[in-house]
Structure 1
């Protein structure tokens, strides 16, 4: 990545410092993008599979070209979890996607052409007394995450696997519950394409200077995702509230690997029950010049495994289940399913991801999907042609996951997220 000189970084930090101190901690509700929809559980799994493939393409494109000058295809897709807050004076309620894989905070602004459909009124900066557009001379327009314009213009452009946004940079008051914070730098989107699940934009929670977590000055954040088919909201906690509940002995922690915007961790191996799968150690190795290593991501639904790893997992699960294999990739979007003639399916053991100094235990409900109507029992993971492993949110259900950004540490422990 082409990093800015130290003085420029200091200038950016000064520009992004809010004049209203953020509270010590915040708690917000998270809602799955398909919550409240008429989709069946099977349809939701299929839609999540499609979104996960598009999400992998986005992260791979971003890693392959870290200069910020990225062109991405515009394809129909959706992210996963959305949150609610207010923007402006007077306040306007908006919904936006939580994304730990990016850092820009943006919302659609009037006038906007073309604009994507959203479920709430479009924010109009002309109606807000706290709106302040950044001057064209602001160094933020030269920030490395934005597409470069030639010749330079007073606009930003940012791409996603599911769309793109272009507009102007500004500052505004954001309100989370009863807590208001002024002078948050955000993208006032004048053009947007793609499908953002009916929301008004995206809230980036990456490690860059523009992310919400960085601008609020919080050292850490956490989420606890309720079961995939639950009607209960999940919880997002910022600052002092982002602490795992439970005894210290149950908390597992592993370090983040580098200073890139994505949250990289070191995966060493995978077990099924007590059996460590025969995956060569070098398979998960992170090489800075390749699409490799492991990323934990809130915006990817289903875990993506490099093809050699996926095949080993597939072979071992097939041996454990011992039922006829059926390919339902065209209907459910999952290519490893078993035909079940009598219900329930046979039991399977926990799966464990072995990170540096930490083991993430994934119960059967978080990696196998039983569909009684279809008489199928399916692996809810996908293969990837690259060497990049992405730990998705389906595998993080009922797990309290803490991102200690300042301490460069990921922590997690099992939890009943509906009770938090």
Structure 2
């Protein structure tokens, strides 16, 4: 039984007992039992990344024809990071739920007891009838807007195609988090969380996996149903992603809310505006790219979003980054030329589902390049951020963030960036690999993204 040593946060009494919450952000491979080698796990991660990228690209070109329906949060096959929690104040340890973290999903939902045709999950299904704190959401609730009404109960349905959808009833319940924050409180409870209790799921890819531990989606997208919009002051959250090559499971990432999501005031903090959201994605204004000392010199406006297409988004669910074709071609050529100066021979990258890999015949090279992304400066939005005049916010991606490095099995390294071959060919995605070992703080109210280097398991120096 859950200990009574917890802090409770409600909408009417927000943050009186604690001002922040930090959770472990667990990589999916850490909860799945398999005997895959490191290389096989890497190939699986890249495969999931492609699925995720294609999903985001299909969103950006979608024209909603049925206003009462919404597209699904994500395809589970593409997911990487999970959050562990309990549903209901009197849940037991056997009821732990693993929900996929998705910054591109607005709604948090999980499968409920009585679910018809739902995918397999190892944990028993959450049964709302066993919880005294469960309530159905009435149709006149603001978060029911655009959903269906069934006997004055709010019914949701999210779909991508007739073969992939989830539906159920919008509900409220207490969420119990196993926080890693200080203060001597091992649990934090959020009361009256609005979420989706799913009674039908189709096409999410886990139907034939009896050992699946994933139960639903933890939505942190920019829409009003997001948990950050419901509870976090200024809709503020932050995360630090542990490198899936070196981190999990020994060093999980961190997911932070409220004051825990703040960054220290120092000259090391970078800040850029979130220039657009579409209820699924956070768009930033990328201006230019530098690799080692070479500025690629893209024309101004190259990465802007126009007429619902293109742009530059930051996404934790996509494992690696994806660039539009002409952008990728220029980036690719710089890396090819640079590796020739190091004497590293190219190798066939197709077995890793990537484009560029190099042998390391003499071990790990000490002079691999870094990449700098120049983004619009929040204080001077009219100034172009580029590597020619050094104006703007800089995200520095070191070699460990740029490359997958394998030193044991056939020593080699691979570039963790791919060409966008999706339905929105001008879209650019900053993936999780290129975000590692930084703390990214999202401020939904002021529409800004801040970051600085950060060791996920430790406070910054």
TM-score bucket of the superposed structures, by smaller chain = 0.7 to 0.9
Deviation at 1:274, TM superposition (A): 1.7
Q: Which residue of 2 aligns with 1:4?
A: none
Q: Which residue of 2 aligns with 1:347?
A: 367
Within the alignment, does 1:39 sit opposite 2:40 as a pair?
no
Within the alignment, does 1:222 sit opposite 2:238 as a pair?
yes
Deviation at 1:18, TM superposition (A): 3.6
Q: Which residue of 1 aligns with 2:177?
A: 176
Q: 1 CA distance for matches of 2:136 and 2:154? A: 11
Given candidates 335, 339, 354, the residue that maps to 1:321 is 339
Counterpart contact for 2:89–2:175, Cα < 8 Å = no
Q: 1 CA distance for matches of 2:122 and 2:397? A: 35
Q: 1 CA distance for matches of 2:221 and 2:213? A: 22
Deviations 1:344-376 (A, max 9, x none): 346322101111121000000111122242343
Within the alignment, does 1:232 sit opposite 2:263 as a pair?
no
Relative to structure 1, is the Cα distance of residues 282 and 366 closer, same or farther in structure 2, using a 3 angstrom cutoff? same
Given candidates 263, 269, 291, the residue that maps to 1:272 is 291
Within the alignment, does 1:291 sit opposite 2:313 as a pair?
no
Q: 1 CA distance for matches of 2:240 and 2:218? A: 18
Q: Which residue of 2 aligns with 1:30?
A: 25
Counterpart contact for 2:71–2:160, Cα < 8 Å = no
TM-score computed with the length of structure 1 as normaliser: 0.86
Counterpart contact for 1:95–1:120, Cα < 8 Å = no
Relative to structure 1, is the Cα distance of residues 163 and 390 closer, same or farther in structure 2, using a 3 angstrom cutoff? farther
Q: Secondary structure at the match of 1:77?
A: helix
Q: Which residue of 2 aligns with 1:90?
A: 90
Deviation at 1:191, TM superposition (A): 1.3
Relative to structure 1, is the Cα distance of residues 369 and 139 closer, same or farther in structure 2, using a 3 angstrom cutoff? closer
Structure 1: gaps (5+ residues): 1-16
TM-score computed with the length of structure 2 as normaliser: 0.79
Q: Which residue of 2 aligns with 1:304?
A: 322
Q: Which residue of 1 aligns with 2:59?
A: 62
Counterpart contact for 1:74–1:164, Cα < 8 Å = no
Counterpart contact for 1:234–1:418, Cα < 8 Å = yes
Deviations 1:85-117 (A, max 9, x none): 111142242111111111101111010121222
Q: Secondary structure at the match of 1:257?
A: strand
Deviations 1:159-179 (A, max 9, x none): 469953211111111122322
Q: Secondary structure at the match of 2:445?
A: coil
Deviation at 1:326, TM superposition (A): 2.7
Deviations 1:51-93 (A, max 9, x none): 2211122222222225364667997713111111111142242
Relative to structure 1, is the Cα distance of residues 84 and 272 closer, same or farther in structure 2, using a 3 angstrom cutoff? same
Q: 1 CA distance for matches of 2:452 and 2:145? A: 40
Deviation at 1:188, TM superposition (A): 0.3
Counterpart contact for 1:300–1:393, Cα < 8 Å = yes
Residues paired across the two proteins, number: 397
Given candidates 418, 442, 449, the residue that maps to 1:403 is 442
Q: 2 CA distance for matches of 1:183 and 1:343? A: 55
Q: 2 CA distance for matches of 1:290 and 1:222? A: 27
Counterpart contact for 1:78–1:195, Cα < 8 Å = no
Pairwise CA RMSD: 2.8
Relative to structure 1, is the Cα distance of residues 209 and 301 closer, same or farther in structure 2, using a 3 angstrom cutoff? same
Within the alignment, does 1:105 sit opposite 2:115 as a pair?
no
Q: 1 CA distance for matches of 2:97 and 2:399? A: 36
Deviation at 1:412, TM superposition (A): 0.8
Q: 2 CA distance for matches of 1:243 and 1:364? A: 27
Relative to structure 1, is the Cα distance of residues 417 and 71 closer, same or farther in structure 2, using a 3 angstrom cutoff? closer
Deviations 1:251-308 (A, max 9, x none): 1110010243221110011111121114333431221x13211111111111111111
Relative to structure 1, is the Cα distance of residues 24 and 165 closer, same or farther in structure 2, using a 3 angstrom cutoff? same
Deviation at 1:132, TM superposition (A): 0.9
Deviation at 1:137, TM superposition (A): 5.8
Q: 2 CA distance for matches of 1:234 and 1:105? A: 20
Is 154-163 or 186-195 further displaced after alignment? Answer: 154-163
Q: 1 CA distance for matches of 2:142 and 2:414? A: 50
Q: Secondary structure at the match of 1:200?
A: strand
Q: Which residue of 2 aligns with 1:21?
A: 14
Relative to structure 1, is the Cα distance of residues 163 and 325 closer, same or farther in structure 2, using a 3 angstrom cutoff? farther
Q: Which residue of 1 aligns with 2:168?
A: 167
Deviation at 1:311, TM superposition (A): 1.1
Deviations 1:121-148 (A, max 9, x none): 21011111111112356564443xx6x8
Q: Which residue of 2 aligns with 1:376?
A: 412
Q: How does 1:198-209 map to 2 (within 5 A)?
A: 198-209=213-224
